[in-house]
Structure 1
């Protein structure tokens, strides 16, 4: 007898542009970010959204607040959806710091998370959401680094080059059967489908 799995869809939303502050948790969206967040809402209005979850970071929450209000669904906060901790102190060259982490998945800057550590955290919460909301459509307010690390776990083609080409904001729909990734669709300004089979 063939097993039938319900299809679950995770809509990973990379947050819109934020106004820099050293305090990660409360960093808000910039004026441009708030405008772009409205377009995120318009994109997601076309989808049938069942649940909305987010990183605890303000910029991630603000990016999905519009669709939350439109659907009348409360945003559930999951601490493990927070962005990867890069280092204890601010880095002088962000791109170099990220590149070094992708060159050696076990390397970490002082006080920061390696790719392996951050990926393990992100994948664990992703699998939890797939189990908890099997067969549902879930919007996930997240961050570029963590999002790509999660995608990389399911398909290695999602790497630093993919991260480099992300927009801010950006939306990727990941379709799963049980916990197997079967298709990835970008539903931002230029919609593309990437098969994972």
Structure 2
């Protein structure tokens, strides 16, 4: 029996230093509605999200269609890059992808963030066998999870993600058997 996890990278948000409460932008809300439209045909059983507001807001329309609450899972939150904002975000993120055990002061290495995200993913697969589950999350942690199951998903893949983006990961128990992208901004 296959399980399908629909990893949804959150839509565009209004930048604030408060990672937890950063809301979607006007464009983000428009894109969140499109995500709901795409996913309403996928027979979703549960909606899980990172505790970050922008991730919840991106998938709460799907939960509303189901008449269910969004289940919060802390381990799907974005990886913490560093204690303080990086002077050069792109250089800082490239460095952690070059060395998966490296971390900036107060931040998570790729390895530690991946362990956290993969454990949460495996728990979801174990608890909800054969179900279709939406997971509202973030770009880095999503790709780190995908990378665990298939190394072709790495830094360059992350750089090409849209905001938002949707990837359907099909599993036979804990074995990833297929990845399908459902978001296509160009196809609008």
Task: Give unpaired runs (5+ residues) of structure 1.
Answer: 1-5, 192-197
Match 1:13 to one of 1, 8, 11: 8
Q: Tell me how far apart the structure 1 counterparts of residues 86 and 26 of structure 2 sit (CA, whole Å).
A: 25
Q: Which residue of 2 aligns with 1:137?
A: 132
Q: Which residue of 2 aligns with 1:35?
A: 30
Match 2:54 to one of 32, 53, 59: 59
Deviations 1:98-123, CA, capped at 9 Å, x for gaps: 10001000000000000000000000
Q: Which residue of 1 aligns with 2:89?
A: 94
Question: TM-score normalized by structure 2?
Answer: 0.97
Match 1:79 to one of 74, 97, 109: 74
How many aligned residue pairs are there?
Answer: 186
Q: Which residue of 2 aligns with 1:164?
A: 159
Q: Tell me how far apart the structure 2 counterparts of residues 14 and 92 of structure 1 sit (CA, whole Å).
A: 24
Q: Which residue of 2 aligns with 1:195?
A: none
Task: Give unpaired runs (5+ residues) of structure 2.
Answer: none
Residue 30 (structure 2) pairs with residue 47 (structure 1): no
Runs of 4+ residues over 3 Å off in structure 1 = none
Q: Which residue of 2 aligns with 1:115?
A: 110
Q: Tell me how far apart the structure 2 counterparts of residues 12 and 190 of structure 1 sit (CA, whole Å).
A: 16
Question: TM-score normalized by structure 1?
Answer: 0.93
1:190 Cα deviation (Å)?
6.8
Deviations 1:117-169, CA, capped at 9 Å, x for gaps: 00000000000000000000000000000000000000000000000000000
Residue 145 (structure 2) pairs with residue 150 (structure 1): yes
Residue 170 (structure 2) pairs with residue 186 (structure 1): no
